[in-house]
Structure 1
Amino acid sequence: MSDIPRSERPAMIRERLHQALSIESLEVEDDSHRHAGHAGARAGGGHYNLRIVSDDFAGQRRLQRHRQVYDAMGDAMRNDCIHALSIEALTPAEAQSQPPEQSE
């Protein structure tokens, strides 16, 4: 998995999530550049921010939603392809009432 070039990893993340969930909208941000020198970055793992909107999250708590995302990512989370994943998982109704988190 770590042989996937970093530039192709956001597309891999999108593909896996679309295969596992019914997605209304998805934003994937590669934040790896902000973690230069970090142990996970040196090992080749990337840092990514997700904002995912899906009806599949209805009636679920935050932890359950995150588990769905981690399950969809599979082995990419267990090797050095993805070192850190920040997840904002919302239902469509929640997304309408909550603007996207602002990056610094």
Structure 2
Amino acid sequence: MNEDRPAMIESRLRAAMTVDDLEIVDDSHRHRGHAGARAGGGHFRVRVVSPDFAGKGTIARHRMVYAAMGDAMRADVIHALSIRALTPAEANADAGEG
């Protein structure tokens, strides 16, 4: 089931907003034995770049991502989701720092 979750995350984000770039990392293996992992929930890191984030603060951006995930944000599907939500300009500035 875990291998289907990144595809589900991508599908939901792309359906809910304009996505210029998306990276999804499944960190579930790093949380074996954790209460949420025992319930079957996955741990994921998401870096999403969208012009839809322009003019919005971090909390509003995270709310947009959580709204896109909807009912998947249950302990048995997605237990933990680390979000990095950037506008295209912020992503370009990030790339220039490396």
Bin for the TM-score computed over the shorter chain: over 0.9
In 1, Cα distance between equivalents of 2:49 and 2:72: 21
Structure 1: 5+ residue stretches without partners: 100-104
Partner SS state of residue 18, structure 1: helix
The residue type paired with residue 31 of structure 1 is D
1:50 aligns with 2:79: no
Instruction: Calculate percent identity across the aligned residue pairs.
Output: 63
Report the equivalent of 1:60.
Answer: 56
The match for 2:10 among 9, 14, 28 is 14
TM-score by length of 2: 0.94
- Answer yes or no: is 1:71 the counterpart of 2:67: yes
Normalized per residue, the structure richer in helix is: 2
What is the CA RMSD across the aligned residues, in angstroms? 0.8
Matches of 2:52 and 2:74 in 1, distance apart?
24
Unaligned runs of 5+ in 2: none
Normalised to the residue count of structure 1, the TM-score between the two structures is 0.89
Aligned with 2:20: secondary structure?
Answer: strand
Show the counterpart of 2:91.
95
1:52 to partner: Cα distance = 0.2
Q: CA deviation at 1:78?
A: 3.1
Q: 2:25 corresponds to which residue?
A: 29
Number of equivalent positions: 95
1-structure distance, mates of 2:74, 2:8? 15
